[in-house]
């Protein structure tokens, strides 16, 4: 958790053994008791992020009963829960994305996570009857909105959960009973 706080506060440069050990009020030797070196910390952080922020959420939503619309709403609720301060708060996702700009291993992990999340969103939109071509577009819209709203809400310019829920309502309502997209332009 200290690694995520350091990453959020200082960026990738904050992932220094000495600084993290100092923040935890332990010796560098104690750090090395848990991790071989800073790259081992990085690998553990990425694995933890993948497990908690993607696999666990997808697993929870997949087990949920009800229709795909209810699962989409549950996904939005889980994705917008207040992230515990020990993990760096809401900006931890942005910090990981920023880290990916400078580190190929992190970039590969972020790309893999993005694909898994988008594929899952796409499958949920397919489950509500959205036509195949619009499933990926709707998935992209929701995911891009989540990423952007996280930033805006941190600065008090958006209601992360409320705004994302309203977007989902619009996208779900866009599907009529027979699964064809409703054309709002009147055509």
Tens digit of each residue's pLDDT (9 = 90 or more) over 44-78: 999 999 999 999 999 999 999 889 999 999 999 99
Question: Is 120 inside a domain boundary?
Answer: yes
Residue 185 lies in a domain: no
Q: How far apart are CA 174 and CA 183, in angstroms?
A: 8
CATH number at residue 47: 1.10.357.10
Does residue 6 sit within a domain? Answer: yes
Domain that residue 108 falls in: 2-173
Residue ranges in the chain assigned as alpha helix (H): 2-10, 17-24, 28-34, 38-50, 56-63, 68-79, 92-100, 104-127, 132-154, 160-173
pLDDT over 70 (residue 161): yes
The reported pTM is 0.87
Q: What's the number of domains the chain is made of?
A: 1
């Amino acid at each position: 958790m200290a690694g995520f706080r350091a990453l959020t506060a200082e960026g990738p440069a904050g992932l220094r053994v000495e600084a993290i050990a100092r923040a935890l009020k332990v010796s560098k030797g104690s750090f090395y008791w848990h991790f071989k070196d800073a790259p081992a910390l990085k690998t553990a952080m990425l694995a933890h992020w993948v497990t908690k922020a993607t696999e666990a959420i997808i697993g929870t939503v997949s087990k949920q009963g009800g229709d795909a619309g209810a699962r989409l709403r549950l996904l939005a609720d889980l994705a917008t829960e207040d992230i515990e301060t020990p993990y760096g708060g809401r900006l931890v996702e942005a910090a990981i994305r920023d880290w990916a700009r400078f580190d190929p291993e992190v970039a590969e992990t972020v790309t893999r996570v993005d694909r898994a999340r988008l594929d899952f969103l796409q499958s949920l939109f397919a489950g509500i009857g959205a036509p195949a071509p619009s499933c990926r577009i709707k998935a992209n819209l929701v995911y891009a909105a989540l990423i952007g709203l996280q930033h805006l809400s941190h600065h008090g310019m958006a209601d992360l959960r409320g705004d994302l829920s309203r977007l989902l309502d619009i996208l779900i309502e866009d599907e009529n009973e027979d699964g064809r997209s409703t054309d709002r332009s009147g055509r």
